[in-house]
Amino acid sequence: MPPPTLPFFHSNISFAIFHDAGNVFVSGNNMLDSLFRWHQKNPRLCLQESTANQCDYNYISHAIGLGVRYRTPIGPVRFDFGYNLNPPAFPSCQTTPNSGNQGQSTYCLKNSNNTLPYFAPQHASHFNVFFSIGQTF
């Protein structure tokens, strides 16, 4: 958006509205097959220890947001606030159990070298904050 002229800031401040989409794929075939998939396929597989190895991340993640840019002599200072429209579910492991009767997980012991023995599935947050100083590229 064009910079507004504000007292004290002059034309050094500007605002941005954005849509961000993307993902990282294992192969080109996975990327082509998933180009128009907007949601994670069966996220419940990622949340159960017995099916965590079947977790599928082949889809395009989307976020929308607002940003503020301030021009300085060393480069722009950027602050962005984004909302992820389709955050992934993913298996994870932790050092302490969620409950007193939770046993150690074979999934975690196999995948974390015995350092994180308890299964604790998660969802990525819808909200993201990004701060940077200097040019993006």
User: What are the domain boundaries of the chain?
Assistant: 13-88+125-133
Burial 61-91 (b: 16+ CB within 10 A, else e): bbbebebebeeeeeebbbebebebebbbbbb
The 10s digit of each residue's pLDDT in 73-130 is 888 899 999 999 999 999 998 888 887 778 888 888 887 666 788 889 999 999 999 9
Identify the CA nearest to 118 among candidates 94, 101, 137. 94
Provide the token pair at 63: 């976020």
User: 33 pLDDT band (50/70/90 cuts)?
Assistant: confident
pTM equals 0.75
